[in-house]
Amino acid sequence: MGKKKKQKKKPIEWRDLTINALIDLIIGIILIIIGKYIG
């Protein structure tokens, strides 16, 4: 937890992938909810 100097060379990729996955999931759920209300 105390080794934060190594993060400057290579940013954490799994965190970005997780954020992107969550965003896609949220957008998908919103689209499904909107589709149910419209349809």
pLDDT reading at 36 higher than 80: yes
Tell me the two tokens of residue 1: 């937890």
Residue 21 lies in a domain: yes
Residue 1 lies in a domain: no
Q: How confident is the model at residue 38 (pLDDT cuts 50, 70, 90)?
A: very high
Residue 28 lies in a domain: yes
Q: How confident is the model at residue 10 (pLDDT cuts 50, 70, 90)?
A: low
pLDDT at 14: 87
Residue 26 CA to residue 14 CA, distance in Å, equals 18
Work out how many domains the chain is built from and give that number.
1
pLDDT at 5: 61
Residue 16 lies in a domain: yes
pLDDT at 3: 61
Residue 3 lies in a domain: no
Task: Residue 17: give the domain boundaries.
Answer: 12-38
Residue 6 lies in a domain: no
